Amino acid sequence: MPEQREQRLPELLGSAENALLDQFLHCGDWALLYVDLRNFRLYNQLYGRVAGEQMLVALASTLEQCIDDHSVLYRLGTQEFLVLTENTQAEALAGSVCQHWGKVSTGFYTRQDRQRGFMVGTDRHGIGRRCPLVAVNIGIVPSTAQTDRSLAEIFSSALESNLQAQAGVDCSYCVAAPSAPQHVAGTGPHRVLVVEPDAALAYLLQTTLEMRGYEAAVTSSGQEAFKLAVTNPPKVIILDLFTSDLPAGPFLCQELRRQPELKNTLLIVAATNADREESLAAGADLFVPKPFELNDLLGWIDRLIEESAKMVDLPNADRHFRSFRR
């Protein structure tokens, strides 16, 4: 959980560094930048540890090149950095880091991944995962937003703004608001739309999803699925590409992905004789070949929803990717 990371952050610095940090944060016109890499653990799983270490070296080098003599750079963990800088320079610095990373990072991918704009991971069951490219996230905490707050509270605010920056598609940064963090109320069960021509399998999916606490809707019609999805966007769509009323292929997946109402909807293609690469290129977040183990599919639904809630990049959150390869 994010709270666990917040409690650990101050402990990662030594006593001398903590004293310097505390002195700096109480001297007036400062800003704290919390920098890390989104999707790095996925990259590390797919490309290997050596490539991952080279990417981290490139990030550290990028930060060192972008900061000035009045700024201080700390490395917290594997991929996490803190930068202390002048308040007036914070956003310009964040923008420079994002711009430099956009140029440097292209050299860490195969030409195929660069051209399609995402990585593809495949496990031993043939399940294919569309994996976004690695991007820099930066949370900015200006001194004007943190009057009379403790060091731990400032770290928490930095982490929160960093997580908010992850909502962007590419490299992005977010400035912490002056107000105290707001707690979001629960939104009820997640909706899952099942588009499945096999009536028995559709019933099994609906029943099992509802038993796990999801709200499930089922249809075998591609046109009805499109209407249901756009009028009441679900959290997840499980889609068979061979519907009862539309041409076979990725057409429906492409159309669903184009809709602005569904920008936060997770698309899972579960189909027989469908092309994995074509499905992922059409916008699917996950490709699951039929026949599949029901528990595997349900586990991936839970996993994707967890990721979308910004909890994916925690130290123990990559267990589902240990068997993936490119």
137 in any annotated domain: yes
In a shared domain, residues 105 and 6? yes
Contacts of 13 (CB under 8 A, 6+ apart): 21, 74, 76
In this structure, what CATH number is given to the domain that contains residue 35? 3.30.70.270
310 in any annotated domain: no
In this structure, what CATH number is given to the domain that contains residue 267? 3.40.50.2300
Predicted structure pTM score: 0.64
Q: Give the H/E segment covering residue 136.
A: strand 135-142
The reported pLDDT for the residue numbered 121 is: 84
pLDDT, one tens digit per residue, over 50-91 is 999 999 999 999 999 999 888 888 887 677 888 888 888 899
- Written as six digits, the tokens of 231 are 């009028």
In a shared domain, residues 169 and 196? no
The reported pLDDT for the residue numbered 313 is: 41
**For 216, phi and psi rounded to 5 degrees?**
-115, 140
115 in any annotated domain: yes
305 in any annotated domain: no
In a shared domain, residues 170 and 204? no
Query: Which residues of the chain, if any, have pLDDT below 70?
Result: 1-28, 77, 145-152, 169, 178-188, 273-274, 310-326
pLDDT, one tens digit per residue, over 256-304 is 999 999 988 999 998 876 678 888 989 999 999 888 888 888 888 988 8
210 in any annotated domain: yes
DSSP annotation of 178: S
Q: At what angle do helices 40-47 and 49-66 cross, to 10 degrees?
A: 140
d(CA 241, CA 256): 12
Q: Which of 175, 203, 230 is the last residue of a domain?
A: 175
In a shared domain, residues 216 and 144? no
d(CA 173, CA 155): 16
The reported pLDDT for the residue numbered 84 is: 86
The domain in which residue 219 lies consists of 191-292
d(CA 81, CA 97): 12
Helix (H, G, I), strand (E, B) or coil at 315: coil
CB contact at 8 A, 290 and 271 = yes
Distances (CA, A) of 6 to 63, 98, 176, 184: 23, 24, 15, 18
The reported pLDDT for the residue numbered 5 is: 35
